[in-house]
Copies of this chain bind each other. A is one copy, B any other.
């Protein structure tokens, strides 16, 4: 059994920007030579989210954002704004609810996702950011 800690980096636009990171994760599995095991993804930062979705424009650009707007609208007042003079209380609340950690098994070097299921990183922050996701792989490697 082996263990390897890698990371991926990319830019985001913020405001519930939903990014398909499936290819990046599969590329890390391929490069590392793991065949069976798990990948643990951890999004660094307290205005981020990780989950899975059917990555199509309707959900990605409209439906998920609308659901979060009901729960924690960007325009509202948050006590968080008083602490630092920030404007991203909604981003933090959304992140804590969605969660920033995800574990996905793989077999024969392939993630066990459904046909219409992709891994997404969500940037809830109110501005473009450069983001980092820890990609920890472990399991069996090619002989």
Chain A residues packing against B (C-beta within 8 Å): 1-3, 5, 36-38, 40, 42, 44-46, 51-54, 56-59, 61-64, 67, 70-72, 78-84, 89, 92-93, 95-105, 107, 112-114, 116-118, 120, 134, 136, 138-140
Cα distance, A141 to B116, chains bound together (Å): 35
Residues of B contacting A38 in the complex (Cβ-Cβ under 8 angstroms):
40, 136, 138
User: Contacts A42-B105, A62-B79, A78-B63 given: A36-B3 contact, CB under 8 Å?
Assistant: yes
User: Contacts A51-B97, A53-B96, A107-B5 given: A63-B79 contact, CB under 8 Å?
Assistant: yes
Instruction: Label chain A's interface by main secondary structure.
Output: mixed
Residues of B contacting A1 in the complex (Cβ-Cβ under 8 angstroms):
1-3, 138
- Identical copies of this chain, number: 3
The 10 closest A-B pairs by CB, nearest first: A58-B79, A62-B79, A58-B80, A46-B54, A105-B136, A45-B114, A46-B117, A58-B83, A44-B114, A112-B134
User: How far is the CB of A109 from the nearest CB of chain B, in Å?
Assistant: 13
User: How far is the CB of A128 from the nearest CB of chain B, in Å?
Assistant: 17
User: How far is the CB of A117 from the nearest CB of chain B, in Å?
Assistant: 4
Residue pair B101, A79 in contact (C-beta under 8 Å)? no
